[in-house]
A and B are shown apart, each in its own frame.
Chain A
Amino acid sequence: MPMALLKVTGGKMLRAWAEIADGRLTRVRVTGDFFLHPEETIEAVESSLEGVNARMEDVLRVILASLGDADLIGASARDVAEVVLAAAGLPGSGTARVAA
């Protein structure tokens, strides 16, 4: 599965895997050394992205909705969206480095 890395300002590292089919995300995995409280929210974020249009506005909207009141520390929802899109081969703003 294609992977992308994003070094967030301040030092945290996001690493995502994602596939794309017919313009929609499939099999999304977001990993890294960030903090998220409650931790289980990450699984909700990942599954909510399945089938979402691989466009920044849609991806960001879905991430924000599934984060809800959860506390993401060391990265922003936009960082997560960037790295997921980069993994899917669609760099949002080009800040994420795509690694093989």
Chain B
Amino acid sequence: MTGWRLILDGKRPAAENMAMDETVMRLRPSTGLNTLRLYGWNPSAISIGYFQSLEAEVDTGECRARGVDVVRRITGGGAVYHDTVGDLTYSIVVPVDDPLVNGLDVLGSYGVLLDGLVNGLSALGMEAGFRPVNDIVVSGRKISGSAQTRRGGVILQHGTVILDVDPDLMFTLLRVPDEKVRDKMVASVKDRVTSVRHQVGHVRRDEVVAALVEGFGGSLGAELEPAGLTREEAALVPRVQRERFADPEWTGRR
């Protein structure tokens, strides 16, 4: 049975979180460690996809005024509001030729790597299921979204589990195409998106974490060994953070 490293992380600023994900992926060839990291965000943050326009998607003035971080991911997909209380994020780093995902393309590997989340949410009493391309839904409503990138033969997949959601706040921070449709968009999110809290009432964050760890343990077919970053990784994180994710040029490049 292949061992996996489990990083049960705390809440960090957006640029540091993204730097950790990228660093673990970049150094995977030398560390040899498959990794599952569970983490949060402090302060709350908006992350936007690699291809998104910062100016068109995010009200950066409003984010600044509310102390909300803004970061551009190295993965595609949409803008996500990571509430410091209502968001739990996971990241997985595994080589493309690992038996778990070997031969699978991006779409195929989403399903396999999301099995752990489906298992974990099901254990909490929700009828969770995978909805291609990259979502997990409960009763047809999205409770988790993920994004993946592949570099140097290594997959990084990260995504959120919505513990609690506030669409009004979300659309205060995100731009809407036109003010007249703001209410409609808020209503649409209320229809299409759900949360752990909405589904099963109040569950402590550590209970959700425990359920996900159990779920991933089963789906990865692996022993999850709690650990931190290696010395090499810990040394690289601040550089990746400074040179990429905390650099306004990177955040505003599109």
Contact = CB atoms under 8 A, between A and B. Distances in A.
Size class of A's contact patch?
20 to 34
A74 interface: yes
A37 B77 contact: no
A5 B150 contact: no
Given A29-B254, A30-B51, A31-B56, A5 B77 contact: no
Nearest to B54: A31
Specify which of A3, A5, A39 lies most central, judged by the most chain B CB atoms within 10 Å of its CB. Answer: A39
A13 B181 CA distance: 16
B149 A73 contact: no
A47 B52 CA distance: 17
Contacts of A36: 51, 76
A74 to B, nearest CB: 7
Interface string B100-120: 000001110000000000000
A42 B51 contact: yes
B53 A15 contact: yes
B53 A35 contact: no
B101 to A, nearest CB: 14
A96 to B, nearest CB: 13
A30 B133 CA distance: 21
A61 to B, nearest CB: 22
B84 to A, nearest CB: 23
Contacts of B149: 37, 39
B147 A38 contact: no
A58 interface: no
A32 interface: yes
B51 A39 contact: yes
Main SS of the interface on chain B?
A: loop
Given A39-B51, A71-B105, A33 B133 contact: no
A59 B106 CA distance: 27
Interface residues on B, range: 20 to 34
A99 interface: yes
Nearest to B52: A31
Contact of A39 (B56, B74, B105): B74
B50 interface: yes
Contact of A73 (B50, B107, B150): B107
A39 B50 contact: yes
A33 B52 contact: yes
Nearest to A75: B51
B128 interface: no
B177 A99 contact: yes
Contact of A34 (B76, B79, B177, B254): B76
A33 B105 contact: no
A94 B58 CA distance: 27
A71 B150 CA distance: 11
A10 B242 CA distance: 36
Given A33-B78, A35-B147, A36-B51, A73 B254 contact: no
Which 7 A-B pairs rank lowest in CB-CB distance, beginning with the nearest?
A33-B78, A35-B76, A31-B53, A39-B50, A31-B254, A33-B49, A31-B51
Interface of A: 3, 5, 13, 15, 29-39, 42, 71, 73-74, 99
